[in-house]
Structure 1
Amino acid sequence: MKKYFNRFPHAVRGITYATGNDFGFRTQVYLGLVVAFIVFAIYSPLSLFEFLFILLGWFLILITELQNSALEIALDQLHPELHDSIGRSKDMAAGAVLLAGLFLTIVLIALLLSRLI
């Protein structure tokens, strides 16, 4: 069990690094906070179910953005020159971020429509 707790500082260091140095991750954090503020201001109170779906969408974006950034850093270090396979790998990771963003957008639209109908 101690082995798992010893890994926790590495995870925190990774999130701290991404927040301080990765524009994409930092943008997603701040954008998520702004969207959350707007949603709470307009739709308050949210049910627990609605809140959890919004939180799930935001966390999916942050998780995929972290994976995308980590992949880009590793691939740029291993293969700095342009290569088709490297480009496709990066595009696929960026596609995962896009899909996570699409999920949150669908959740927010469904929430809006459920309040209007």
Structure 2
Amino acid sequence: MIKRYLSRFTHALNGLKFASLNDQGFRSQIYLGVLLLFICLAFLLPLTGTEILFILGAYALILITELQNSALEIALDKIHPEHNDHIKKSKDMAAASVLVAGLFLLTVLISLGLDRLFI
């Protein structure tokens, strides 16, 4: 049983490694996360534990949706390499999930920034 869980963990790490090395979208999200860290350090300090959790949670949501978007694109491109309107719609919706996650993070940051300005 432990071997099975270790195998699953290894597959997950392999997925992160593949995304980090081969997926420009995922790497871009990592770079934006580092930039976000510097913005938070420069403008929003001090942060409470809850605020840190909101920022990290929203950022994790971006990474999760980006990984799912990339996985779906890879699978669909392999299954159906020709242009197909239904596949395009699926890819667009997966990309939209990344956008929604990014807007959520932006909302969190604006909320925290406004809180600092008016209190």
User: Fold match, TM over 0.5?
Assistant: yes
Determine the C-alpha separation between the residues in 1 that align with 2:11 and 2:28.
Answer: 22
Deviation of 1:12 after TM superposition, in Å, equals: 0.5
Return 61-70 or 5-14, whichever deviates more. Answer: 5-14
Matches within 5 A, 1:1-117: 1-2=1-2, 3-117=4-118
Determine the C-alpha separation between the residues in 2 that align with 1:29 and 1:85.
Answer: 30
Determine the C-alpha separation between the residues in 2 that align with 1:63 and 1:97.
Answer: 8
Deviation of 1:6 after TM superposition, in Å, equals: 2.0
Matched residues, number: 117
Deviation of 1:41 after TM superposition, in Å, equals: 1.9
Deviation of 1:42 after TM superposition, in Å, equals: 1.6
Deviation of 1:5 after TM superposition, in Å, equals: 2.5
Determine the C-alpha separation between the residues in 2 that align with 1:61 and 1:47.
Answer: 21
Deviation of 1:4 after TM superposition, in Å, equals: 1.9
Which amino acid is 1:11 matched to? A
Which amino acid is 1:89 matched to? S
Offset from partner CA, 1:1-31 (integer Å, 9 cap, x none): 4122221011011001101110000000110
RMSD of aligned Cα (Å): 0.8
TM-score by length of 2: 0.95
Identity %: 59
Detail structure 1 runs of 4+ shifted over 6 Å in the superposition.
none
Determine the C-alpha separation between the residues in 1 that align with 2:44 and 2:36.
Answer: 12
Determine the C-alpha separation between the residues in 2 that align with 1:5 and 1:13.
Answer: 12
Deviation of 1:44 after TM superposition, in Å, equals: 1.6
Offset from partner CA, 1:25-79 (integer Å, 9 cap, x none): 0000110111111111222221001100000010000000000000000000000
